[in-house]
Amino acid sequence: MTIRSASLHWNGLAKFFHWSIVVLLLAQGIAAVLMDGFPREMRGTVMMLHKSTGVLILLLAIARLAWRLMSKAPPVLPEVSAANRMLAQLGHVVLYVLLFAVPLSGFLMSAYGGRVTEFYGLFALPNFVAANDAMSALMHQIHEPLFFALVLAAAGHAAAALYHHYIKRDATLIRMLPGNRT
């Protein structure tokens, strides 16, 4: 399980984006599913935190994609077959699309509904769009299903990473883990 060249590694920024988004998404997803269980008087704060963390994830996803388009990703390890390479690339595109679609649908649900998004109570974000009840309802309808699609895609992606690590015993997972392990 060795990596022949340091250039095959994901750099610190790539790892920071990957794992900070994973941790925030986990917390956001768990809190969202439990959202209805919070006492009535806490709902306003819980929703403010939900929207703010969702916007934070969206900002990180934008920064990450910008970084990804500007710098080169390390090449896929030579031992990975062409078919698996294509499957992984397709999976990554799906993950990126959903990473944008989930928070964006949430933000647009709120903005088209004419409601304010207070970023952690610090300042109000501009809504960017004029109020539109039909669009708000549409965003409401797709927000949760998109989240479940993201959960499915991420589960498949994590299973693939574990398959590389434990079954194929190659360095695919290790080169994405924090720290320089080569």
d(CA 19, CA 179): 12
What is the rounded distance in angstroms from the CA atom of residue 25 to the CA atom of residue 8?
A: 27
Number of Cβ within 10 Å of residue 62's Cβ equals 12
CB of 18 or CB of 41, closer to ligand HEM: 18
Q: Which is nearer to ligand HEM, 92 or 168 (CB)?
A: 92
Contacts (CB under 6 A) with ligand HEM, residues 50-79: 50-51, 54-55, 57, 68, 73, 76
Contact call for residue 154 and ligand HEM (CB under 6 A): yes
Question: Which residues in the 17-56 window bind ligand HEM by CB under 6 A?
Answer: 18, 21-22, 25, 28-29, 32-33, 35-36, 50-51, 54-55
Contact between 16 and 85 (Cβ < 8 Å): no
Binding site for ligand HEM (CB under 6 A): 18, 21-22, 25, 28-29, 32-33, 35-36, 50-51, 54-55, 57, 68, 73, 76, 88, 92, 95-96, 99, 102-103, 106-107, 109-110, 117, 140, 143-144, 147, 154, 157-158, 161-162, 172-173, 176
